[in-house]
Amino acid sequence: MVPNGRDRRSFTELDSLTRRRFLTAAGGGAAGLAFTLGLPATTAGATPERGRREYPFTLGVASGDPLPDGVVLWTRIAPRPLEPHGGLNPNETVAVTWEVASDERFARVVRRGSALARSAYSFSVHVDVRGLRPGRHYWYRFMAHGHASEVARTRTAPADSAVEPMRFAFASCMNYRAGYFQVMRDMADQDPDAVFFLGDYIYEYPVVQLPTGRQLPDLPPEVVPETVTLEQYRLRHALYKSQPEVIAAHRFTPWVMMWDDHEVSNDYRRDTEAELLRQAAGYRAYWEHMPLRQPQRPVGPSARLHRRLRHGAMAQFDMLDARQFRTPELASGTIPDSPQRRDPARTILGEEQESWFARGLGAEPARWNIAPQGVLMAVVNTANTTQGPPPPTYSSGNWDGYQASQQRLLDAVSAARDAERLRNFVVLTGDVHCGYVSNLLSDTTDLGSPSVGTEFTSLSVSSAQDFDPVANERRQVRTVVNPHMRWADLHCGYVMVDLDTERMAVEFRAVDKVSRPEDPVYPLRRFTVADGVPEVQPG
């Protein structure tokens, strides 16, 4: 399906056209080549023009959180991104100008302005552009240090009353040392209207060579250790952001961001001052490197990342933060059923976010209500045997570890459906390095209860590493002991979704070996959710 009949030229073609125009307009062939190859911005022996310094846009540009009248634009000034402060003097302030045009040649500039990039926020720039027209493509660029960034494209959301088809991607779990990011370039080639990234954009682990994974280049020693301090998180983000595939994926479509745990540390807690300081560092570096607005900027170890976006009257997206406000997990790993697991005082979203979600569910008409978030929401018995009825076990870190909170959310969905305020409810999830497709049960204690919605969990970008068919076969026990689960798969990849008034068409796109950057990405499996039918169907 091609929504709106749009011309879906490949990323490679769009990139080639825009790159040629950029080089001609900017007169900066060395800078453009540097961006492509990761080389210094001026060629050896060349003398920069007066006022012209090293190419500063080595981490690319990005846009995010589209509204009918605006979008946020992001870049970071970092001529040497894997050095502290991006190679800049920490006492420096950089003047950055920006332009937004209705055409890729910038013959019709519709908005322009300037901003100051300061060391306090790692020389990042977040421009909240308003006054744009709904449902339109726009082109944008930044200028600093005598250079122009490469031209990029974004798209505003349709008008609130518009019922327009939508094509979007979602992904999670992008581990640099575990493998290459070729699925990111494939995602760009699919030309989605938006990308939802659902956590683990970076990993805090030391960047060391794994037996199966990416062949690591020589990296500055400051980039390698486990991330704990603010500067270490900044360097880790710079490492990921400087990858050509990541730059490509951000360049032609707006992204909508949600974190999980590895943006700080695995299953992080908030119990000690040291943990809170680390969380504050991770949160700050995350905001500095993402296309997020000022209201999402953290204050110490706190930030409001849950928010609501719309694609006209076609879809409402409730971005849920399932990590920051949770009650501490009962244990590490799996747990049996217990009164503690069902304790109503335990919450995964926090009281304020739970109320915010319930109030907004169906408050404005939308054909599809979609909740992108971090961890598995469907009931999943993790007992790995089909011999007899073993007592069920559950992941303590998923919604199953917070059963009462899980049930309250699904009760809110059921109530909205019963009141005819909600037609379709779909959850998009990351975290588990496995593609799961499940129906969401109305009663989380009864596997025979009717479903009220569906959940699609993304394959990981690279965290699952190369596909292991033996491990994948073992994982199929989950679909046996959980009859509402329709599919499970351990490939790396991501998910493409085509949405219209009649159906949600979901395609899992996969790669066999992320240890080989040339290994191709291909369609793995397709599913459909029909309008008004809260169950997954194959194809």
The pLDDT assigned to 390 comes to 75
In whole angstroms, what is the distance from residue 78 CA to residue 333 CA? Answer: 40
213, 179 Cβ separation under 8 angstroms:
yes
Residue 435 phi, psi dihedral angles, 5° rounding: -80, 120
Three-state SS for 166?
strand
Using CB atoms within 10 Å of the CB of residue 520, give its burial: 0 to 12 exposed, 13 to 18 middle, 19+ buried.
exposed
For residue range 192-218, list pLDDT tens digits in order: 999 999 999 999 999 999 999 999 999
Q: pLDDT at residue 344 above 60?
A: yes
Q: Which residues contact 273 (CB under 8 A, 6 or more apart)?
A: none
More confident residue, 12 or 422: 422
**Greatest alpha-carbon span in the chain:** 78
**Structural domain spans, the chain:** 158-538
For residue range 45-97, list pLDDT tens digits in order: 223 344 578 999 999 999 999 999 999 999 999 999 999 999 999 999 999 99
More confident residue, 309 or 14: 309
For residue range 291-343, list pLDDT tens digits in order: 999 999 999 999 999 999 999 999 999 999 999 999 999 999 999 999 999 99
The pLDDT assigned to 354 comes to 98
What is the band of 388 on the pLDDT scale with cuts at 50, 70, 90? low
Number of residues in the chain: 539
| One-letter amino acid of 379 | V
Q: What is the mean pLDDT of residues 153-168?
A: 97
Q: pLDDT at residue 4 above 60?
A: no
The pLDDT assigned to 6 comes to 39
The pLDDT assigned to 386 comes to 58
For residue range 275-291, list pLDDT tens digits in order: 999 999 999 999 999 99
The pLDDT assigned to 415 comes to 97
Instruction: From 306, 309, 305, select the one nearest 296 (Cα to Cα).
Output: 305
433, 463 Cβ separation under 8 angstroms:
yes
The pLDDT assigned to 384 comes to 76
User: Distances in Å between the alpha carbon of 45 and those of 36, 48, 191, 483?
Assistant: 20, 10, 39, 67
In whole angstroms, what is the distance from residue 167 CA to residue 4 CA? Answer: 10
Q: Give 439-497 as a DSSP string.
A: EEES-TT-TTSPEEEEEEEPPBSSTT-S--HHHHHHHTHHHHH-TTEEEEE--EEEEEE
Q: What is the mean pLDDT of the chain?
A: 91
What is the band of 38 on the pLDDT scale with cuts at 50, 70, 90? very low
Q: Which residues contact 474 (CB under 8 A, 6 or more apart)?
A: 384
* CATH code at 158-538: 3.60.21.70
C-alpha 256, offset from chain centre: 6
More confident residue, 41 or 312: 312
For residue range 220-278, list pLDDT tens digits in order: 999 999 999 999 999 999 999 999 999 999 999 999 999 999 999 999 999 999 999 99
C-alpha 318, offset from chain centre: 14
459, 435 Cβ separation under 8 angstroms:
yes
In whole angstroms, what is the distance from residue 261 CA to residue 506 CA? Answer: 26
The pLDDT assigned to 28 comes to 33
Q: pLDDT at residue 19 above 70?
A: no
Q: Give 98-142 as a DSSP string.
A: EEEESSTT-SSEEEEEEEEEEGGGTTEEEEEE-SPPTT-EEEEEE
